[in-house]
Copies of this chain bind each other. A is one copy, B any other.
Amino acid sequence: MDKSISYTDVISYTDVSLKNTFNLYEKKFKALADQKRLHILYEITQHGEVCVCDLSEKLHLPQSKLSYHLKILMDAKLIEKETRGTWSYYTLNHSEINHVLSEELCCLFRRD
Protein backbone atom coordinates (compact mmCIF):
# COMPACT_ATOMS: atom_id res chain seq x y z
CA MET A 1 0.00 0.00 0.00
CA ASP A 2 1.37 3.37 -1.02
CA LYS A 3 1.07 5.87 1.77
CA SER A 4 3.00 8.68 0.07
CA ILE A 5 1.18 11.97 -0.25
CA SER A 6 0.50 13.05 -3.84
CA TYR A 7 0.22 16.54 -5.22
CA THR A 8 -3.53 16.11 -5.55
CA ASP A 9 -3.91 14.99 -1.94
CA VAL A 10 -2.05 17.95 -0.54
CA ILE A 11 -3.93 20.46 -2.64
CA SER A 12 -7.33 18.96 -1.95
CA TYR A 13 -6.51 19.06 1.74
CA THR A 14 -5.56 22.72 1.75
CA ASP A 15 -8.04 24.02 -0.81
CA VAL A 16 -10.66 21.76 -2.31
CA SER A 17 -12.43 24.31 -4.48
CA LEU A 18 -9.20 25.54 -6.05
CA LYS A 19 -8.24 21.97 -6.86
CA ASN A 20 -11.66 21.41 -8.47
CA THR A 21 -11.20 24.57 -10.49
CA PHE A 22 -7.83 23.45 -11.85
CA ASN A 23 -9.31 20.05 -12.58
CA LEU A 24 -12.16 21.55 -14.56
CA TYR A 25 -9.96 23.79 -16.69
CA GLU A 26 -7.42 21.03 -17.19
CA LYS A 27 -10.15 19.01 -18.88
CA LYS A 28 -11.21 21.88 -21.10
CA PHE A 29 -7.65 22.77 -22.11
CA LYS A 30 -6.82 19.12 -22.73
CA ALA A 31 -9.75 18.99 -25.13
CA LEU A 32 -8.36 22.06 -26.92
CA ALA A 33 -4.80 20.74 -26.92
CA ASP A 34 -4.91 18.88 -30.21
CA GLN A 35 -4.59 20.03 -33.81
CA LYS A 36 -7.36 17.77 -35.06
CA ARG A 37 -9.80 18.94 -32.40
CA LEU A 38 -8.93 22.57 -33.10
CA HIS A 39 -9.63 21.89 -36.75
CA ILE A 40 -12.99 20.37 -35.80
CA LEU A 41 -13.86 23.47 -33.77
CA TYR A 42 -12.77 25.63 -36.68
CA GLU A 43 -15.09 23.80 -39.07
CA ILE A 44 -18.01 24.06 -36.65
CA THR A 45 -17.23 27.76 -36.18
CA GLN A 46 -17.24 28.25 -39.96
CA HIS A 47 -20.36 26.26 -40.78
CA GLY A 48 -22.48 26.54 -37.67
CA GLU A 49 -23.17 22.83 -37.54
CA VAL A 50 -21.52 19.78 -39.04
CA CYS A 51 -22.06 16.04 -39.08
CA VAL A 52 -19.36 13.41 -38.69
CA CYS A 53 -19.43 12.66 -42.41
CA ASP A 54 -18.81 16.34 -43.25
CA LEU A 55 -15.80 16.34 -40.93
CA SER A 56 -14.52 13.08 -42.35
CA GLU A 57 -14.32 14.69 -45.80
CA LYS A 58 -12.87 17.99 -44.63
CA LEU A 59 -10.22 16.59 -42.27
CA HIS A 60 -9.50 13.38 -44.17
CA LEU A 61 -9.99 11.36 -41.02
CA PRO A 62 -11.80 8.04 -40.55
CA GLN A 63 -15.11 8.01 -38.72
CA SER A 64 -13.84 6.18 -35.64
CA LYS A 65 -11.12 8.74 -35.06
CA LEU A 66 -13.60 11.58 -35.39
CA SER A 67 -16.03 9.98 -32.95
CA TYR A 68 -13.17 9.66 -30.48
CA HIS A 69 -12.20 13.32 -30.76
CA LEU A 70 -15.78 14.57 -30.79
CA LYS A 71 -16.42 12.69 -27.56
CA ILE A 72 -13.50 14.45 -25.91
CA LEU A 73 -14.88 17.84 -26.98
CA MET A 74 -18.34 16.77 -25.78
CA ASP A 75 -17.05 15.60 -22.39
CA ALA A 76 -15.36 18.98 -21.97
CA LYS A 77 -18.74 20.55 -22.84
CA LEU A 78 -17.17 22.62 -25.61
CA ILE A 79 -19.60 21.29 -28.23
CA GLU A 80 -23.13 19.91 -28.31
CA LYS A 81 -24.83 17.25 -30.38
CA GLU A 82 -28.26 16.95 -31.95
CA THR A 83 -29.27 13.72 -33.65
CA ARG A 84 -31.70 13.89 -36.57
CA GLY A 85 -32.37 10.57 -38.24
CA THR A 86 -29.12 8.70 -38.63
CA TRP A 87 -27.11 11.92 -38.62
CA SER A 88 -25.53 13.60 -35.63
CA TYR A 89 -25.05 17.33 -35.95
CA TYR A 90 -22.48 19.05 -33.82
CA THR A 91 -22.56 22.71 -32.78
CA LEU A 92 -20.45 24.95 -30.55
CA ASN A 93 -21.40 25.36 -26.91
CA HIS A 94 -20.94 29.13 -27.16
CA SER A 95 -21.22 29.98 -23.48
CA GLU A 96 -18.55 27.46 -22.49
CA ILE A 97 -16.21 28.28 -25.37
CA ASN A 98 -16.53 32.01 -24.83
CA HIS A 99 -15.97 31.62 -21.13
CA VAL A 100 -12.58 30.05 -21.78
CA LEU A 101 -11.29 31.59 -25.00
CA SER A 102 -10.44 35.24 -25.61
CA GLU A 103 -12.44 37.35 -28.03
CA GLU A 104 -9.33 37.53 -30.19
CA LEU A 105 -9.90 33.89 -31.12
CA CYS A 106 -13.22 34.86 -32.65
CA CYS A 107 -13.92 33.25 -36.00
CA LEU A 108 -11.20 30.69 -35.47
CA PHE A 109 -12.54 28.65 -32.57
CA ARG A 110 -15.36 30.84 -31.29
CA ARG A 111 -18.11 33.05 -32.63
CA ASP A 112 -19.42 36.27 -31.11
Interface of A is mostly: helix
Residue of B nearest to A23 (CB): B35
> In the docked arrangement, what's the CA distance between A26 and B36, Å?
9
CB-CB under 8 A for A32 and B29, given A99-B104, A102-B103: yes
Chain A count of residues within 8 A CB distance of the other chain: 35
Give every chain B residue within 8 A of A104 (Cβ-Cβ). 99-100
- Answer yes or no: A111 CB below 8 A from chain B CBs: no
Could you say which of B26, B102, B103 contacts A33, with CB atoms under 8 Å apart? B26
Chain A residues at the B interface, C-beta cutoff of 8 Å: 5, 7-8, 10-11, 18-19, 21-23, 25-26, 29-30, 32-36, 38-39, 42, 59-61, 98-105, 108-109
